[in-house]
Amino acid sequence: MNSKNLYFLASGTIDEFKVVIEIPYGSQNKYELDPETGALFLDRVLYSSEFYPFNYGFIPSTKAEDGDALDVAVLLTNPVPPATVLRAKAIGMIKKVDSGDIDNCVIAVPVDDPRFSDISDISQLPAHKLKEIEDFFANYKRLQNKVSVIEGFFDAATAKSEIAKYLNNYTEFKK
């Protein structure tokens, strides 16, 4: 399968879905998989000393409010190379407005990592991990003079509802 097909890969279900990783944990590089060419482009290098405190990607075959696939932050203990596909489950969501646009992000854990098998909701994460996630999203564009407003964290049920909505958006978009 070439990387162009990754954008349109069958995503799975709201309970267990595929995620295409674009940005590995610990990176300051923001990569984006282009749906037209399948190429992985360096979108930018973060302006600040911030780094991604999670692996970041998207759920294929979804269409979020910003017109892109639905964003996902996957909590793992190690970096995952860009263009890797993994199976995940939603444990919550962070609602945010990025430069005036709704840009919510599902928080997920990998299905195939026993370290996360007991986590089913964001409320089970350590408080400090939530602070790291919130701090990253609140500040990662600050030196670009762009504003990200964090509206809060929401539970797994809310995240699954959003996934279902964005899967439907994609289906409607394809028609």
Average pLDDT over residues 11-15: 86
- In this predicted model, what pLDDT tens digit does every residue of 83-98 receive, in sequence order? 999 999 999 999 999 8
Task: Please tell me the predicted confidence (pLDDT) of residue 66.
Answer: 84
> Domains of the chain, with CATH numbers?
3-174 (3.90.80.10)
Q: How far apart are CA 133 and CA 114, in angstroms?
A: 22
CB 134 within 8 Å of CB 151 = no
Assign 3-class secondary structure to 101-144: EECCEEEEEECCCHHHCCCCCHHHCCHHHHHHHHHHHHHCCHHH
Q: How far apart are CA 123 and CA 112, in angstroms?
A: 21
Average pLDDT over residues 100-120: 95
Q: How far apart are CA 81 and CA 14, in angstroms?
A: 24
CB 134 within 8 Å of CB 94 = yes
More confident residue, 122 or 65: 122
Average pLDDT over residues 12-31: 95
Confidence of residue 175 (pLDDT cuts 50, 70, 90): very low
Q: How far apart are CA 175 and CA 171, in angstroms?
A: 7
Q: How far apart are CA 155 and CA 55, in angstroms?
A: 19
Average pLDDT over residues 38-43: 94
Give the range among 61-65, 118-122, 147-151 with minimum mean pLDDT: 61-65
Spatial CA neighbour of 105 closest among 80, 82, 73, 127: 73
- In this predicted model, what pLDDT tens digit does every residue of 66-84 receive, in sequence order? 888 999 999 999 999 999 9
Average pLDDT over residues 38-62: 94
Q: How far apart are CA 175 and CA 170, in angstroms?
A: 9
Q: How far apart are CA 23 and CA 80, in angstroms?
A: 8
Distances (CA, A) of 48 to 42, 53, 69: 16, 14, 25
Task: Please tell me the predicted confidence (pLDDT) of residue 3.
Answer: 60
Averaged confidence pLDDT in the chain: 91
More confident residue, 6 or 154: 154
Confidence of residue 165 (pLDDT cuts 50, 70, 90): very high
Task: Please tell me the predicted confidence (pLDDT) of residue 36.
Answer: 86
Task: Please tell me the predicted confidence (pLDDT) of residue 8.
Answer: 74
